[in-house]
Amino acid sequence: MSEPKSSPPNKSQYGDVLKYTGIASQLIVVLLIGYWLGAKLDQCLEMAQPIFAALLMLLFMGAFFYKLIKDLSSDHK
């Protein structure tokens, strides 16, 4: 008897995985840039607490999610 052949995964499955992996990678990069810039500001201004690092991370993350929602909502139209 012959064994049933397994079909290769659909290309759209790979596309979805790559799409969401790219989104996650972009978020990580945005957060790292926000932290780095904020830490540099905190260092230059000799802040006791990393206030600018936290604020810039939140600001960059908000901008990222705004862009993400805008892009994803335009994909469905």
Do the Cβ atoms of 30 and 64 come closer than 8 Å? yes
> What dihedral do alpha carbons 33, 52, 57, 69 form, nearest 10°?
-110
Per-position pLDDT tens, the chain of length 77: 566 666 666 667 788 888 889 999 999 999 999 999 999 999 999 999 999 999 999 999 999 999 999 988 886 66
Q: Which domain holds residue 63?
A: 17-75
Q: How many CB atoms within 10 Å of residue 54?
A: 14
Is 11 part of a structural domain of the chain? no
Query: What is the domain count for the chain?
Result: 1
Is 42 part of a structural domain of the chain? yes
Is 36 part of a structural domain of the chain? yes
Distance CA 41, CA 23 (A): 27
